[in-house]
Copies of this chain bind each other. A is one copy, B any other.
Amino acid sequence: MAEQHGQVPGVCCITCPLRQHNEWCVLTEAETRLLEGSRKSWEFAAGDAVFSVGEPSLGVYCVASGVVAIRKIDTAGHAIPTRLVYHSDIFGYRGLLLDVNRRYSAQALCPSRICFVDKSVVKTLLERNPALGQQFLHRIVADLEDAHDQLMRNATQSNRSKFLRLLLMFLSHHGRTAKDGSQYIALPLSRRDLASMIGTRQETLSRIIGRLEEDGLARFSGRTVHLPRLDSLLREIQRPSQFA
């Protein structure tokens, strides 16, 4: 338990174990010291805003621990989660790279420790080390591919399929294995947020959940969902739709 001070995430970039898992992994030791030099670290409570729409983009953030929801505002003014970032993920770099005000908001979903690096330092690092730019480029292209895939899927798939897919996404970060070997998930969001993520209303989601329980594919209780038949769930999603 008693971890050595320097190896705790969110305390020092140089010894941070997470650095190998994100875009900073291409930095040299000297560059990492530069990073550490401007690093600030903050604690956020569940529900706190990390940044909000319209603010200037002052730097990038790095999740030392916890979960952060990136939300986009729809035409009616609702903040809809577009993706969740976790442990070791860097976020907030898009507004920074473009030098524009925040177009998304970021909100801690649980008590989280988050590091911050100033814009000027990131820009310096980008100039010094071209590989860093490549890292971000790869990340953005991957995001873009995801967005396009999702666009194609949303056009064809039912809300039920989209929701099942969302559950599977959560499985990787929020999934646990119960004593009997079955998987369960502690959902990080309210029904309303879940519904908006698949582009539907909470009433519809409620009905979908009801039908999933009837079918024995899932058992919901509050924000916990058990998935006793994960195999048939996977089978249901991967069935391609028959287009003309």
Contacts and interface: CB of A to CB of B under 8 A. Distances in A.
Contact of A75 (B78, B98, B136, B241): B241
Contact of A140 (B77, B141, B154): B141
A147 interface: yes
A244 B147 contact: no
B154 A154 contact: yes
A204 to B, nearest CB: 12
B144 A133 contact: no
Interface in A147-163: 147-148, 150-156
Given A127-B130, A140-B137, A244 B202 contact: yes
Tallying the copies of this chain within the complex gives 2
Nearest to A98: B141
A180 interface: no
B76 A241 contact: yes
A145 to B, nearest CB: 7
B151 A151 contact: yes
A80 B76 CA distance: 29
A151 B150 contact: yes
A72 interface: yes
20 contacts: A72-B148, A74-B156, A75-B153, A75-B241, A76-B241, A80-B152, A94-B141, A97-B138, A103-B145, A130-B130, A130-B133, A133-B133, A133-B137, A137-B140, A140-B144, A143-B144, A144-B144, A147-B148, A155-B200, A202-B244
